[in-house]
Structure 1
Amino acid sequence: MLIIRKYVEQDAREIWLLFFNTIRNINRHDYTELQVQAWAPDSMDLFIWNKRMIDIEPFIAEIDGTIVGYADLQNDGLIDHFFCHYQYQRQGIGSALMAHIFDLGGKKKINSYFSQVSISAKPFFEHFGFKLVKQQSIDVKEQQLINFHMQKRV
């Protein structure tokens, strides 16, 4: 059974590994090896990662004690992180996280959502009514990565 709960500090390592492995196994189909290595480096200072997670306050999708995804929603409508475990793709986890975002956004009276979406995630966000605002190229550790600024108005 899928539950969605708040992030706790003890999640830091597992969330980092989910982030790392999803980029290295899923996003590698749309980005070069050097790009995914820059985006998800071989090591991460868990203190820095945990601080970042505390700052964005993600919520965690969990099945039987296994973390299978995470996402966040900022007060201005930004979805900064949205990741589903690479071994749990196409099982409804992303849909459950997006439904949670929209529910939370409704309670916060958010009328416009936006995100910087990878090539890999673009079709998923389009499925939920997000529209392309612009394609952009971002610098990540001396690599240029294409992503998309997408928005959904309520």
Structure 2
Amino acid sequence: MINIRNFDINDVAITWNIKFNTIRTINRQDYTVEQTKRWAPEHYDMNLWRKRITDMNPFIAELDGNIVGFADLQDDGYIDHFFCHSEYQGAGVGRALMEHILSVGASKGISRFYSQVSLTARCFYEHFGFHVVKEQQVAIADGKLTNFVMQKIT
């Protein structure tokens, strides 16, 4: 059973590793090697990540004691990060995280959920009732990549 809990400062390194490995393996099906290297650089300042992930305060998904994903929900309904471990794709991790986000959002009175969604995650978000507001090219390092602003109104 997948357990969802709140972020702890000890989760900093594993969340970066999940993000890095998911982008470099799973997102590689929709983006070039160069784009994934810019999106998830080999050498990233862990102090910057610690601040970013702490400010984001994500939910952590665990399965059999292992951290297998994370996702956040900001007070305005924005989902900044949503990553499932590359080795646990299709195991219900994303579903558990999204259901938790939508439930927490409902309890906070959030009626609009939105995110900048990768090509890879678009179908997943659509499955949960999100629709594309616009396609965009976003700057990342010295390049660009395509993603979608998606939203769900409840």
| TM-score, length of structure 2 as denominator length | 0.98
Do structure 1's residue 120 and structure 2's residue 120 form an aligned pair? yes
Alpha-carbon distance between aligned partners in 2 of 1:8 and 1:45, rounded to the nearest angstrom = 19
Confirm whether residue 2 of structure 1 aligns to residue 12 of structure 2: no
Aligned-partner Cα distance in 2 for 1:11–1:107: 25
**Amino acid across the alignment from 1:10:** N
- 1:150 aligned counterpart, secondary structure: strand
1:16 alignment partner in structure 2: 16
Distance in 2 separating the partners of 1:53 and 1:6 = 12
Distance in 1, matches of 2:106 and 2:51, equals: 27
Tell me which residue corresponds to 2:133: 133
Q: Look up the equivalent residue of 2:40 and give its one-letter code.
A: A
- Following TM superposition, the consecutive aligned residue runs of length 4 or more in structure 1 with deviations greater than 6 angstroms are none
Matches within 5 A, 1:95-110: 95-110=95-110
Greater shift, 133-142 or 45-54, is seen at: 45-54
With normalisation by structure 1, the TM-score equals: 0.98
Amino acid at match of 2:81: H
Letter of the aligned partner of 1:54 in structure 2? Answer: T
The alpha-carbon deviation at position 110 of structure 1 amounts to 0.2
Matched, 1:28 2:25: no
Cα offset for 1:99? 0.4
Distance 1:28 1:148 in 2: 17
What CA distance in whole angstroms lies between the structure 2 residues aligned with 1:44 and 1:141? 12
Deviation at 1:46, TM superposition (A): 1.5
**How far is the alpha carbon of 1:75 from its aligned partner?**
0.5
- What residue identity is the alignment partner of 1:124? F
Q: 2: distance between equivalents of 1:111 and 1:63?
A: 29
Residue type of the alignment partner of 2:150: M
Distance in 2 (CA, whole Å) between partners of 1:7 and 1:43 is: 23
Q: Distance in 1 between matches of 2:101 and 2:15?
A: 18
Letter in 2 for 1:4: I
Q: CA RMSD in A?
A: 0.7
Task: Map residues 42-57 of structure 1 onto 2, 5 A cutoff.
Answer: 42-57=42-57
Residue of structure 2 in register with 1:151 after alignment = 151
Q: Which runs of 5+ in 1 are unaligned?
A: none
Give the distance between the partners of 1:67 and 1:7, measured in 2 at CA. Answer: 11
DSSP-derived class of the 1:68 partner: strand
- The CA distance in 2 between the partners of 1:67 and 1:143, in whole Å, is 31
Measure how far apart 1:129 and its partner are: 0.3
Structure 2 CA distance, aligned partners of 1:47 and 1:9? 12
Aligned length: 154
